[in-house]
Amino acid sequence: MSVIRSAAKVGGFTSISRVLGFIRDQLVAFTLGTGGVAEAFFVAQRFPNLFRTLFAEGAFNSAFVPLFARKVEGEGERAAHRFARDVFSALLAWVLLFTVIAIAAMPWLIYAIAPGFKGDPAKIALATLLTQICFPYLLFMSLTALQGGVLNSLHRFTAAAAAPILLNIVMILSNMLAYTLGSGNSPLTGYIFAVGVTLSGVAQYALLAVACSRAGMPLTPRLPRLTPDVKLVIKRSVPGIISGGIMQINLVIGTMIATSIPSAVAYLYYADRLYQLPLGVIGVAIGVVLLPTLSRKLRAGDEWGALDASNRAIEFSLFLTLPAAAALMVIGAPILHTVFEHGAFHAGDTLAVAPAVAAYAAGLPAYSLTKVFQPGFYAREDTRTPMNFAIVSVVVNIVLSLALSRFMGHVGIALAATIAAWINAGQLYFRLRKLGHFTFDRSARFRLSRMILSTCIMAAALFDVGLLMDGAFDPGAHILRAIIGLALLVAAGIISYFGASQLTGAWRLSELRGALRRS
């Protein structure tokens, strides 16, 4: 199956998840706004999410998938199943131990992850308890990520792509429970949300466990054994932990620094949620599909096929992320006003979050490129090079976050993350090109220049229509007026971009349909 078609399937399920996530975040904003309980909850869920990315998604996407693909191609699915079970058992033992230790040490760890809360004992206590409640989510999601790696390697993308939908369903139900109880912006709502996070991890694990069983790869634990293959996964996971989780690492660094700025944690959370929509639908989907595809092509000695897959992945991802980034920068405030500005989320919050959305959005293409370039190393079983580049990116992010936040507040933290993302993507690209593993082919160069032109045309159209619709997003305007105004802006963006793409040849609709059908 083609990379674009597979990515479209993953992106389709991710789109459903992101839409539900939008509804979830609307409800969270309505209930908690940007106050102390909101900040405590956002810190609480950020911590296990970081380690989920580091220990599971980043590490196993980079180390486990190529080795599992090698087993499937070279020794058959039975040997691959034994290998997956050994890794599953070792991962379960390690993450279970880590979870128990982290929960016990949380009263002290919280000062490291939320140093700005020190002057507020009530907020520190709440953040500590909420993080302890959320932390088992790490255990279930680590196992879920491994199951997803198995399924993706077998080109069974549906279940892993659909699993995050359960997270949003559970969190929406948690919001409904808080509303029914009338707990409002109180610690009780924080407890309900934290329990919901953990239950969502259980639900996602159960879904993928069933999918693995149906695929003939049931993963049941046994006594962990450090076989040579497991040791190799661990060895290659260490650099993958850093490089695969670079975005989460930078977000956590930003959160730590933001705890010293009033409401900054909440502002950055809502900004992050907005720009994560196109990133998850496009960039992450490409990364999920591309790694097993490249691994199998390179295992078969098809270097040209690997290069072609990477170029087509870049074309597809930038075709969608470039206009998404421009749209968020131009109409971020109208989106925030329409989606979040209700209940405990006020007009002042919209004005504070909008510049952070624009700063994050400028890094969208960089994050998508990173998702394409990293598999070029991982598929060749090189996890160290991306790790080295990720370390440079983290250092840049820390230095710039500390410097820019002094003058720009939370917006400086978002801008620092974006600059770090571009530096990381640039390092990956130039090293791949130097090694002869990647170069932009004629088609990619042709389309990229025209995508940029089409994006500029769309941005100009959005700016002009936004001036005409400005009154629809005034604080006192009726919500229906805002919805209609935003719908018109979205329609203007879609029509102008796809129309310009058709005229410039960036990507004609007939070509896109053909790519989606091709297998």
Output the 3-class SS for 463-484: HHHHHHCHHHHCCCCCHHHHHH
For tokens 């993958």, name the residue: 240
Nearest to 241 by CA among 416, 366, 99, 64: 64
Backbone angles phi, psi at 182, to 5 degrees: 70, 30
pLDDT digits (tens, 9 = 90+) for 423-482: 999 999 999 999 888 888 888 888 899 999 999 999 999 998 888 887 777 776 777 888
With cut-offs at 50, 70 and 90, classify the pLDDT of residue 15: low
With cut-offs at 50, 70 and 90, classify the pLDDT of residue 87: confident
Asked whether the beta carbons of 476 and 470 are under 8 A apart, the reply is no
Q: Round to whole Å and give the CA distance between 506 and 448.
A: 7
Residue 288 reports pLDDT greater than 60: no
Give the alpha-carbon dihedral of 509, 514, 515, 516, to 10 degrees: 90
DSSP 379: T
More confident residue, 496 or 29: 496
Burial (0-12, 13-18, 19+ Cβ within 10 Å), 225: exposed
Average pLDDT over residues 287-315: 71
Asked whether the beta carbons of 165 and 16 are under 8 A apart, the reply is yes
- H-type helices in 76-157, by residue range? 77-113, 121-134, 136-153
Asked whether the beta carbons of 126 and 40 are under 8 A apart, the reply is yes
Residue 1 reports pLDDT greater than 60: no
For tokens 């699993």, name the residue: 163
Residue 376 pLDDT: 81
Residue 491 pLDDT: 92
With cut-offs at 50, 70 and 90, classify the pLDDT of residue 252: confident
Residue 519 pLDDT: 42
C-beta atoms surrounding 226 within 10 Å? 10
DSSP 155: T
Q: Which amino acid is at 415?
A: L
Average pLDDT over residues 270-276: 81
Per cent of the chain over pLDDT 70 is: 84
Tell me the Cα Rg of the chain. 22
Q: Round to whole Å and give the CA distance between 269 and 24.
A: 13
Asked whether the beta carbons of 237 and 38 are under 8 A apart, the reply is no
Average pLDDT over residues 391-417: 90
Residue 232 reports pLDDT greater than 90: no
Asked whether the beta carbons of 185 and 27 are under 8 A apart, the reply is no
Q: Choose the weakest-confidence range: 50-54, 117-121, 172-176, 381-385.
A: 50-54
Residue 355 pLDDT: 94
For tokens 């590490």, name the residue: 59
Q: Round to whole Å and give the CA distance between 32 and 349.
A: 12
Q: Choose the weakest-confidence range: 15-29, 459-473, 487-501.
A: 15-29
Nearest to 421 by CA among 395, 393, 385: 393
